[in-house]
Structure 1
């Protein structure tokens, strides 16, 4: 009889510990529980490499923002005022068509990555932002650049989309996995 009672007490205490651990898990959200999406546009692969590291660090879903018409080297020639990228960046109302749509349902955090063109985000980032319901989601920009900082591009995005919940962005040129992980940790993810 004492053995049965001891077993019942042991089972009861194990059940209580399991419930307590379950409660802790519900109150502390990890990046994967926060349902992270890492959406990025990359014309040459540089931003894509950083986005992959970010998706790994956050356990987030990776989504490539792809234009319907891919950019060629000639399209990206910023020295040529008639190149496709120069013409797009000269006209703030241009919205390049993009392939598909990301599933943002259930996402609480959306990283938006891009190369910096003419000091700001490429126009296809506007296409992405305008074609997805991002209200109530934390939007965190990240960028790569050959010479510009990220500040002006984030300022322009915040001005264009003031109803979105923006966090400060970060320039991630040549960022290693450890650099990305430290940044993600500093964001509370």
Structure 2
């Protein structure tokens, strides 16, 4: 990679995004940080077909900012921050906005990555830019079997 300091921060409820984040952190020789909600999500909270579930209520309110438990130590040391999440309602969960609004990303590059059972990144990055007005590099869906070769190709293309 390079001499730049890299962080892979991720939010995961079912472990799918966590596995992708771990593989990405290994390939990028990056530090890993889990974005944990102050109030963990239950299966009932994640029931997207229930309009009154916690995740449905959060995603239907663009101002929703679920609280995060913990902080990244020494965020200022990182040059590049990958931010990973599952796609919810075709965009990033609002806890990602909470994360982006919690730090000063000036001078850093933010690179989204996501996992999804069926949808792509779409306009996700545009929705995140409102929470973090810095340089965003092109994001990527990290679904399925992730080989080190596939991740290295993407990382090399980003010119980190």
**1:63 aligns to 2:16 (yes or no):** no
Greater CA deviation, 63-72 or 172-181?
172-181
**1:163 aligns to 2:139 (yes or no):** no
SS in 2 for 1:151: coil
**For residues 129-164 of structure 1, what are the alpha-carbon distances to aligned partners after superposition, in whole Å with 9 as ceiling and x for unaligned?**
000111110000000011111122112212x14621
Q: Counterparts of 1:177 and 1:75 in 2: how far apart (Å)?
A: 34
Unpaired segments ≥5 residues, structure 2: none
Q: Counterparts of 1:60 and 1:139 in 2: how far apart (Å)?
A: 14
2:17 corresponds to: 47
2:149 corresponds to: 178
Q: What's the RMSD between the two structures over aligned residues?
A: 1.2
1:74 corresponds to: 44
Q: CA deviation at 1:176?
A: 2.6
2:80 corresponds to: 109
Structure whose residues are more often strand by fraction = 2
Pairs aligned (count): 158
Q: Counterparts of 1:162 and 1:106 in 2: how far apart (Å)?
A: 17
Moved over 6 A (4+): none
Specify which structure has the bigger relative contact order, considering alpha-carbon pairs within 8 angstroms and separated by 6 or more residues.
2
Unpaired segments ≥5 residues, structure 1: 1-29
Q: Counterparts of 1:177 and 1:124 in 2: how far apart (Å)?
A: 28
Equivalent position to 2:55, from 85, 88, 101: 85
Equivalent position to 1:144, from 91, 115, 123: 115
